Chains A and B, each alone.
Chain A
Amino acid sequence: MTDLTNLGIAALRDGVAKGDFTATEVATAFNAAVEAAQPALNAFIVTTPDKALESAAKVDADRAAGKALGTMAGVPIGMKDLFATKGTQTTAASKILEGFTPQYESTVSQKLWDAGAGMLGKLNLDQFAMGSSNETSAFGNVISPWRRPSDTAPLAPGGSSGGSSSAVAARIAPAATGTDTGGSIRQPAAFTGISGIKPTYGRCSRWGVVAFASSLDQAGAMARDVTDCAIMLEAMAGFDPKDSTSLNLPVPEWTAGLNADMKGKKVGIPREYRLDGMDPDVAKSWDDGIAWLKDAGAEIVEISLPHTKYALPTYYIIAPAEASSNLARYDGVRYGLRDLPDGAGLQDMYAATRAAGFGPEVKRRIMIGTYVLSAGFYDAYYTQAQKVRTLIARDFTEAFQQVDVILVPTAPSSAFALGEKSADPLEMYLNDVFSVPASLAGLPAMSVPAGLDRSGLPLGLQVIGKAFDEQGVLNASLALEQRAQFTARPAKWW
């Protein structure tokens, strides 16, 4: 039998449906791959092999009984440990939530289980999804399966969905959920040579997702190719009355609608993204992407997004401000860690608990957020940032009057080594330069692998679409995928 871990969502689902192999065989193969890789990659915070087998047994029984199977039936996936999973520890990679066992299931994970998916485990991430390298997790760094051919230095899998990207790239999970606040699906996907899509804000319910910055947080799919992402996103998306910002729209049939023909489509190339001193390999892969979309029939149009350079500083006011408010709930009273020094009162308990439970980057962002929201500084920082955010979104609205999708690089470089950027928070923040603008505008955006750079590491291309036009994003991404012919994968060293 072929090695089942080489297959993606569509191939696994179809193989199970046809009877080429059973869902139990699939779950067993991935469980074994997870177990073998866990000591080296640390992609999971907890593994749940029994859950994977349990879901698989149900799919096999349903098939034997002739029942209709779901769109993810027989596919075991990794669940980012930001989604509440009933009965399985959910930590957001923070000590403050260690041991927290949700009494309910997040809407997105429930939808995936309802579609027949199973859970391999809870994936590691940057603490509270704050980070771009997975180095802020309280449960250890995730290691990318990729290495430079020249050395064995451990590389960042990107962040915050670093466990997700590492697991999919290492073929220990066929797909994984991610969440994206400023690029946390797209940048890790780019770093590890996989595909990842963040839909329009509001497509996927935030109910049961540990909140970071609520006006930006959006769940999405990470998988090996565009088709698998379409299948998975379709299973995840949909209106949820329990999320006040959920979009009350039907979920389009994105998979059925996939079409790589770009004839009659206009692709915008924003001049502001061509930064001074841009990595020449990143610039070249962008040029390749332009040529590929032209080859697919698209017309290339130069556009301007004049407020691009202000997106990052805007993000690093708004996201910490929302985080400082959201994370106020971790107080040692209702769930999670409590640190009660001898003789301490309530206020001392709050402060001691939060000091002990939050990691340095989380504290830094809470501090920034508290400062920009404090009396006397609120208008200068927070209100100003919200106004600039309006301008950034308006730039996109105007651009989309001329073009159908926008093509830009996903990240300014390929994966960096662990420790390389973690000393300076600002340098780490700059890694989000190409992904943050679409987040601030709430737009769907996808990263697909474009090729390898001079050091043998993957680079990603990003397609940004109009609000609600995930189909346009997926289609342009498919056109890129067909021409990039990206087949490189990390040599197995774990």
Chain B
Amino acid sequence: MSVDTATVAKIASLARIKVTEAEIGAMVPELNGILAWVEQLGEVDVTGVEPMTAVIPNTQRLRDDVVNADPLTGGDMRDAVLANAPAPEHGFFGVPKVIE
């Protein structure tokens, strides 16, 4: 499978990365080179093989249902959460208007 300029533009849009026509033009051969190379995986017989989900066997843990059991990841830290926001407003994350 290979990509053309329309596909690259579509991927860029899905990835939310603004690209110029020139950048798309440069990416087409690069991405095709990489895709052609990874395509060799198609020759591996994977009949009956499960896709890997966890590389080292582990169990999913649940934490205790306690408010602020771990203060580092608990609540009540609005200012710390907003400290690096580029445009906080009134104690919230600010974004451009999204409702007409």
Contacts and interface: CB of A to CB of B under 8 A. Distances in A.
Contacts of A331: 16
B12 to A, nearest CB: 7
Given A313-B40, A346-B96, A377-B1, A393 B86 contact: no
B15 A366 contact: yes
B37 A242 contact: no
A364 interface: yes
A371 interface: yes
B21 interface: no
B63 to A, nearest CB: 7
Given A354-B17, A355-B19, A391-B46, A245 B63 contact: no
Interface string B78-89: 001101111100
B48 to A, nearest CB: 10
B18 A334 contact: no
B95 interface: yes
B73 interface: yes
B39 to A, nearest CB: 8
B66 interface: no
A391 B83 contact: no
A242 B16 contact: no
Interface stretch (A54-62, A277-285, A335-343): A335-343
Contacts of B1: 377, 380
A186 B81 CA distance: 35
Q: How large is the interface on A (under 10, 10 to 19, 20 to 34, 35 or more residues)?
A: 35 or more
A393 B52 contact: yes
Contacts of A440: 55
A446 B60 CA distance: 29
Interface string A388-399: 111101000000
Contacts of B61: 241, 244, 248
Contacts of B50: 387, 390
Contact of B44 (A247, A336, A388): A388
Contact of A215 (B55, B70, B98): B55
Interface stretch (A98-106, A174-182, A406-414): A98-106
Interface in A349-372: 349-352, 354-355, 358, 363-364, 366-368, 370-371
A355 B16 CA distance: 8
A101 B84 contact: yes
A113 B41 CA distance: 44
Interface in A3-53: none
A347 B58 contact: no
A324 B70 CA distance: 29
A334 B44 contact: no
A238 interface: no
Contacts of B58: 202, 245, 247
B38 A336 contact: no
B46 A317 contact: no
Given A355-B18, A366-B15, A244 B52 contact: no
A334 B55 contact: no
A201 interface: yes
Interface string B59-81: 01101000000101100010011
Contacts of B40: 310, 313
A440 B55 CA distance: 8
Interface string B16-39: 111100000001001101110111
B84 A100 contact: yes
A402 to B, nearest CB: 21
A149 interface: no
A244 to B, nearest CB: 7
B34 A425 contact: yes
A408 B39 CA distance: 26
A365 B18 CA distance: 15
B6 interface: no
A374 interface: yes
Interface of B: 1, 3, 7-8, 11-19, 27, 30-31, 33-35, 37-42, 44, 46, 49-56, 58, 60-61, 63, 70, 72-73, 77, 80-81, 83-87, 93, 95-98
Please list the 7 inter-chain residue pairs (A to B) with the smallest Cβ-Cβ separation, ordered nearest first.
Answer: A386-B51, A442-B55, A335-B84, A338-B86, A355-B18, A351-B18, A387-B46
25 contacts: A100-B84, A104-B80, A247-B56, A248-B61, A307-B44, A313-B38, A314-B41, A316-B34, A333-B85, A333-B93, A338-B86, A345-B97, A346-B96, A350-B16, A367-B8, A377-B1, A383-B51, A384-B44, A386-B52, A387-B52, A390-B50, A425-B33, A426-B34, A426-B37, A442-B56
